[in-house]
Amino acid sequence: MVLPHPRDLRDIARIAVPVSLEAVSQLLLGFIDQIIVGVLGALAIAAVGLANSTTFIFILTLAALGNSCAILIARAFGAKNAASLSQSLSVGLVLGLAMSIAVVIPLWLWAEPLMAFAGGNPQLVKPASDFLKIVILGLPLIVLGSVATGALRSMGDAQTPMKATMLSMLLNTLLAYVLVTHFNMGVVGAAFGTLIANLIKTLWLLHTVYRHQDVHFVTPHWKAIRETTRELLPLSAPMMVTELFWTSSVFIYNILFGKISTEALAANQIVHTLETVFVVASFGLASAATTLLGQAVGQGDTQLAHARSRAILQLGLITGVVTGLLYLTTAYLLPVVFPKVEETVLQIAFLGVVLNALFQAVKVHNMIQGIGILPSGGDPRGVLIGDVVAAFVVGLPLAVLFGFGFGWGAVGIFSARLVEEAVKLVIFYGRYRKINWHALKGQVAAAH
């Protein structure tokens, strides 16, 4: 393996390091909620995890809009087109707000029936729906923050989103701890802590992005919305559908764990939260791909775009191996982190962590391709194909077969998800080899 050029390493690290720190901090919000409510027992952990997995579907689906806007903004920034940049940002914010509000209303009204359908255990319904009703109110804030974050990164500012996320993590920790333990608000206290932290973070990001010298406040009119949407749709529609399918598959996996037992569901929440923290330690590489490849395409430098994509994938392999080893060590720390959680839950979680740690490098590769390289290379459809085939044609049927048909239980479902990642690796890499950077340059030039 040829190591990336030092210049490429500097460009990638300038974006990847702060973004990865930000992503880990963001996920620590969910992990902190689990640790804090862990004092209430496995039922509380399962309830918070179930509610979070529901909001997770819509957060990632709508956040795909922010990622699509980031690609357009990076191209406009590379082409030094401030008008197009400002218009893409404004339209992205308006669309994000409208779409998120349309999601919040039905979820809030039907929280209890949804949690009753997904949870399996009737005891989960009340705490899970109470948590969901509060956390889902923060969805518009998260989507607006996602668009603002993508804009800042595309213009080379990865520091501000990192600082805003770290501040929100500290606020969430303090508020959740006080509300849960001192005011005895249970899981609702953790939900309020998360909501307030997201509000402060989003206000900071919006204030910063509109102070940038290349951004001008634009009130989107119908023609601007129509023009920008025409550019956004080929990127955002496949990505949003992809995220909807992928997060829905995660939701279905949670239902399958819940059908086994509440202990298995709680163990999966612990495994998934820990795993995600270590996977997104490499998330900065996906964001670096979005920014650097978008800028290179906007500049018309196809060779640079190709070289950067190779360098980012090479770094992803290295970080995947390293974070996989770190993730593996957490299996032995579970009794320390969750001292009041039942032994049965910790035993299942231990096996889940070990199995997933072995596939860490594969998951990092898939994340970089699916979020950064393939969409930036003009192939969001390839991401959709990979996610749908791997999850719904392979992973979920095997989960039912392994977990219930063969009687392997939770270990069988964990194993099926690893097969899913292997299939996705093959599909994504095959699509990556077919990217035509030169043709993409011509399409972007024609659009502007």
Q: How far apart are CA 372 and CA 363, in angstroms?
A: 14
Residue 240 lies in a domain: yes
Number of neighbours of residue 445 by Cβ within 10 angstroms: 13
The contacts of residue 105 (CB under 8 Å, 6+ apart) are none
Instruction: Report the Cα 41 to chain-centroid distance in Å.
Output: 27
Average pLDDT, the chain: 85
Please name the residues in contact with 162: beta carbons below 8 A apart, sequence gap of 6 or more. Answer: 18, 19, 21, 22, 25
* 33 alpha carbon, distance to own chain's centre: 17
Q: For 39-50, how does the pLDDT look when each residue is reduced to its tens digit (9 = 90+)?
A: 777 778 778 877
pLDDT average, residue stretch 189-195: 89
Residue, of 392 and 177, whose pLDDT is higher: 392
More confident residue, 24 or 3: 24
Q: What pLDDT shows up at residue 28?
A: 65
Residue pair 75/293 in contact (Cβ under 8 Å)? The answer is: no
The pLDDT score that the predictor gives to residue 49 is: 76
The SS3 of residue 217 is: coil
Counted domains in the chain? 1
Over residues 205-223, the pLDDT tens digits come to 999 999 988 888 777 777 7
What DSSP string runs through 26-64? HHHHHHHHHHHHGGG-HHHHHHHHHHHHHHHHHHHHHHH
Residue 1 lies in a domain: no
Asked whether residue 135 is domain-assigned, the answer is yes
For residue 415, the model assigns a pLDDT of 96
Determine how many CB atoms are found less than 10 A away from the CB of residue 206.
17
Q: Which residue has the higher pLDDT, 253 or 35?
A: 253
Residues 9, 13: Cα–Cα separation, whole Å: 6
What is the pLDDT at residue 264? Answer: 92
Please spell the DSSP secondary structure of 141-168, one letter per residue: HHHHHHHHHHHHHHTT--HHHHHHHHHH
Structure tokens at 119: 């949870």
Contact yes or no for 352/268 (Cβ under 8 A): yes
Rounded mean pLDDT of 96-109? Answer: 93
**Residue 230 vs residues 91, 261, 372: alpha-carbon distances, Å:** 11, 47, 21
In angstroms, the Cα distances linking 75 to 151, 155, 284, 295, 439 are 11, 10, 19, 5, 15
pLDDT at 69 over 80: yes
Q: How confident is the model at residue 195 (pLDDT cuts 50, 70, 90)?
A: very high
Q: How far is CA 188 from CA 108, 237, 267, in A?
A: 14, 34, 21
CA quadruple 420, 422, 425, 430: dihedral, nearest 10: -100
At residue 35, the pLDDT reads 74
Q: With 90 as the cut, is the pLDDT of residue 34 above it?
A: no
Farthest CA pair distance, the chain: 61
Q: Taking 80 as the threshold, does the pLDDT of residue 27 lie above it?
A: no
The pLDDT tens digits of the residues spanning 409-431 come to 999 999 999 999 999 999 999 99
DSSP string, 364-427: HHHHIIIIIIHHHTT-HHHHHHHHHIIIIIIIHHHHHIIIIIS--THHHHHHHHHHHHHHHHHH
Q: Is the pLDDT score of 11 beyond 80?
A: no
pTM of structure: 0.71
Task: Count the helices and strands in the chain (H runs, E runs).
Answer: 20, 0
Q: Tell me the C-alpha distance between 53 and 276, whole Å.
A: 12
- Report the pLDDT averaged over residues 12-16: 79
Q: How far apart are CA 32 and CA 269, in angstroms?
A: 13
pLDDT digits (tens, 9 = 90+) for 241-289: 777 787 788 889 988 998 899 899 889 988 987 887 788 788 888 888 8
pLDDT band with cut points at 50, 70 and 90 for residue 338: confident
Region 214-238 average pLDDT: 78
What pLDDT digit, counting tens, does each position of 74-87 carry?
888 888 888 888 88
| Residue 81, domain member (yes or no) | yes
Whole-number pLDDT of residue 5: 60
Among candidates 290, 317, 315, 316, which has minimal Cα distance to 305?
Answer: 290
Tell me what percent of the residues of the chain surpass a pLDDT of 90. Answer: 38
Q: Is 379 exposed, middle or buried (0-12, 13-18, 19+ CB in 10 A)?
A: buried
pLDDT at 12 over 60: yes
Upper half-sphere CA count for residue 152 (Cβ side, 13 Å)? 25
Helices (H), 110-221: 111-119, 122-135, 139-154, 159-177, 187-209
pLDDT per residue as tens digits for the range 380-392: 889 999 999 999 9
Instruction: Report if residue 176 sits inside a domain.
Output: yes
The first and second tokens of residue 371, run together, are: 């979020």
Question: CA–CA separation, 432 vs 377, rounded Å?
Answer: 8
Domain with 265 in it: 6-447
In this prediction, residue 340 has a pLDDT band, given cuts at 50, 70 and 90, of confident
What's the pLDDT band for 441 if we cut at 50, 70, 90?
low
Contact 72, 65 (CB under 8 A): no
Q: What is the pLDDT of residues 280-325, one digit of tens each?
A: 788 888 888 888 888 888 788 888 888 889 999 999 999 999 999 9
